[in-house]
Amino acid sequence: LKLYIQRVFIMDEAEQFLPLYLRFVKGVIDSNDLSLNISREILQKDPVIDKMRGALTKRVLDTLGKMAKQEDSEDYATFWKAFGQVLKEGPAEDFANKEQIAKLLRFATTHDDRDEQAHALDDYIGRMKEGQEKIFYVVADTHNTAKNSPHIEVFRKQGIEVLLLSDRIDDWLMSHLNEYDGKQFQDVAKGELDLGKADDEEAKKEREETAEKMKPLV
């Protein structure tokens, strides 16, 4: 961002006005009054800067949200391919806007098994099985490894969708993204398998029998 004060150029890269996860934004800020040091090259600490930062962050997120909602969202798909991994830094850095950032995230899922990250969390929730209480995901080094993970076999059998995460930042992202829209995230490779009310009794019985058979090997 280029900063001007009363139309006088002050600095070329004004990093104070947007969080780091929005570093792809280019623009011009022209303010009537901000505190500068004597050389007029460095901004002093000023509560006005914090207010401007909050307002600009909200404006950028709102603009991205409108772009994502368009029926023909090719523009957002293009944006996501270029800057999706940068936006994934958001939930860890900007707690106040975590829900709004999560709405903008896109994922590959077992819904179509494609490696393209095209599914929003709202899409996932809209397709959840009756009685399903959690958003399930698996993290792997590659998309191919994720979609062939043995951890998701039981989910495929029961028609429960799983997010397929394979970007280097994904594990770190999910450690800061605990829930969305009241639904908890669950890593299918960690902890005990709990499908909630969506669990099929027959499949549950089959898993228990298999576990019993495998006890000698374990």
Of the candidates 117, 115, 111, the residue with the CA atom closest to the CA atom of residue 76: 117
19, 45 Cβ separation under 8 angstroms? no
Whether 8 shows a pLDDT value over 90: the answer reads no
DSSP state of 3: E
**Residue partners of 181: CB distance under 8 A and separation at least 6:** 99, 121, 122, 125
Average pLDDT, the chain: 88
Average pLDDT over residues 172-176: 94
Whether 76 shows a pLDDT value over 90: the answer reads yes
**Structure tokens that stand for 115 in this block:** 């490696």
Average pLDDT over residues 127-145: 94
Q: How far is CA 58 from CA 19, 62, 201, in A?
A: 11, 6, 46
More confident position, 200 or 51: 51
Whether 206 shows a pLDDT value over 80: the answer reads no
Average pLDDT over residues 121-147: 94
Q: What is the band of 120 on the pLDDT scale with cuts at 50, 70, 90?
A: very high
Alpha helices (H) in 4-110, listed in sequence order: 47-69, 74-87, 90-93, 98-104
pLDDT score, position 72: 65
In the chain, beta strands by DSSP E: 2-5, 8-11, 28-31, 108-109, 134-139, 163-165, 179-180, 183-187
HSE-up of residue 21 (Cα within 13 Å, Cβ side): 23
